[in-house]
Structure 1
Amino acid sequence: MTSPERSTSPPQQYAERSYRSPAALVGGALLIALGLWLGADALLRGTPATKLTALFALLFGVPLVAAFSLRPLVRANEDRLLVRNPFRTITLPWAAVEDLRATFSAEVFTGAGAKYQLWAVPVSLRQRKKVARQAARGTGRPRFGLNADAGPVPKAMADQTLAELHEIKDRATHRETAQGEPEVRWSYAVLGPSVLGAVGLVVMGVL
């Protein structure tokens, strides 16, 4: 068994962690499937004007649904936090992260005063209340006449995720490879088709 005190041991490496909302993924996939089914039917059976309207509607709607359901992702490794929101991708070296909080939504704050929402980590107040009730039932009850340790206090999924991200941040902030400035990129693959579809729908409505 390797002793943890050996100075010759290489630094421990931690696997990259990814966070997404399963409910959003399932809901988004169902909505896109329904939209494609209805759009395909209109494209095959409709009049020329109906076909054009269906095409523009698909260009407008499908990227937006995918952006808000399938696209959101939070990925964390030892050097940086990647936040993929509906229209932007934010890359944050851990040294640039000031804090992470989950009130009514999960958010990350930078030292420069910027704030970014974590769309992939939804906050459920209902789940928090449920976990609080479970924790209340599990504490203060003696077992076999003794106040036995009931184990760790349960947390809602968003709170557990932010606790893990805080742990990674605290461990990585002073790493040389975790230094740098935030980088923000717009998702033109989502914005382009949606804008084109919106313009097309406006034109079809005027004609």
Structure 2
Amino acid sequence: MTTPDPSRGPEPEPTKPAGTATTQYKDRVYRSPAGVVGGVLVLAIIGWLGIDAVVVGEGRTPWLALAVMLFLVPLVFAYTVRPAVFVNDDRLRVRNPLRLIELPWGRVASLRSGFSNEVVDDSGTKYQLWALPVSLRARSKAARQESRAAARAARAEAGQGSGGRGGRADLGGAVGAADLGAGAAVAAGGPRRAETDQAMDELRELHERRQEETGAQGEVTVRWAYEIIAPAAAGAVLLGVLWGLG
């Protein structure tokens, strides 16, 4: 089997007889860049302060520092760096802070956007998409940009209509033509959307295309992230013991 050349884009999916497996490609991954960057910075600060306390601290200070790091590091990692959404032609995998949810497209009922982005399965159970946080500020910014682009396009059309009436009108027509080009470029790309809203649109489109396919059927699975819960619980217990000892 030859490996597809990435520079040529994705290879077309080969035609296969009914009942055979289709070619699978790597999952598309959605993350929150701001969350990842913020989490890495917080983890760096915790590590710096904690290691310093372990090295130079006296008495119970090193043990307290170890307990705090054992408690905080898994939780900070879980709520900032860990969240991700993985999608392919058959299923949606949601990696939230404390759970991993796998939903075949055939079991997805809807993808909702409000004050948070959620996926709802066919039993009505909701799962929040931590990796795609809603930003009301980003939505407002996108709406303002779209309004300005529409206003420029309207002024450009008016300028073109009066472009043949003298020098000032000619100047207005020239400016209007430039604005029309900008407005047309925006229109060609569709309405402006916040980044997470664009991601949700892509997920809805893929869901619509794939929900009836044979390979997109199966059961919803939910797994708890014990690799996060166990060390955080151990750190909490150690903190409680040290606190109780006074």
Q: Same fold (TM over 0.5)?
A: yes
Cα deviation for residue 195 of structure 1 reads 0.5
User: What does residue 174 of structure 1 align with?
Assistant: 212
Q: What SS does structure 2 have at the residue aligned with 1:143?
A: helix
Contact 1:123–1:158 (CA under 8 A) maintained in structure 2 = yes
Could you tell me which of 123, 126, 145 is aligned with 1:115?
126
Could you tell me which of 102, 108, 115 is aligned with 1:97?
108
Alpha carbon RMSD of aligned pairs, Å? Answer: 2.0
User: Could you give the per-residue CA deviations for residues 123-170 of structure 1, whole angstroms, max 9, x where no partner exists?
Assistant: 000110111111111125142537874331111111100000011111
Letter in 1 for 2:119: V
Paired residues for 1:12-91 under 5 Å: 16-91=27-102
In 2, Cα distance between equivalents of 1:42 and 1:118:
36
* Pair 37,137 (structure 1): closer, same or farther in 2 beyond 3 Å: same
Q: What SS does structure 2 have at the residue aligned with 1:180?
A: coil
In 2, Cα distance between equivalents of 1:29 and 1:161:
23
Divergent runs of 4+, >2 A? 9-16, 142-151
Q: What SS does structure 1 have at the residue aligned with 2:193?
A: coil
In 2, Cα distance between equivalents of 1:15 and 1:34:
34
In 1, Cα distance between equivalents of 2:71 and 2:146:
45
In 2, Cα distance between equivalents of 1:88 and 1:198:
20
Is residue 2:195 matched to residue 1:157?
A: yes
Letter in 1 for 2:221: E
Task: Kindly tell me the number of residue pairs found equivalent between the two proteins.
Answer: 200
Q: Who wins on radius of gyration, i.e. which is larger?
A: 2
Q: What SS does structure 2 have at the residue aligned with 1:193?
A: helix
Q: What SS does structure 1 have at the residue aligned with 2:206?
A: helix
In 2, Cα distance between equivalents of 1:68 and 1:16:
22
Cα deviation for residue 16 of structure 1 reads 2.8
In 1, Cα distance between equivalents of 2:116 and 2:52:
38
Gaps in structure 1 of 5+ consecutive residues: 1-8
TM norm structure 1: 0.91
In 2, Cα distance between equivalents of 1:86 and 1:114:
18
User: What does residue 241 of structure 2 align with?
Assistant: 203
User: What does residue 148 of structure 2 align with?
Assistant: 137
- More RCO (CA 8 Å, sep 6+): 1
Is residue 2:15 matched to residue 1:10?
A: yes
Cα deviation for residue 26 of structure 1 reads 0.6
Contact 1:102–1:158 (CA under 8 A) maintained in structure 2 = no
Letter in 2 for 1:99: S
Q: Which has the higher helix share?
A: 2
User: Could you give the per-residue CA deviations for residues 30-69 of structure 1, whole angstroms, max 9, x where no partner exists?
Assistant: 1111101111111111124111111110100000000000
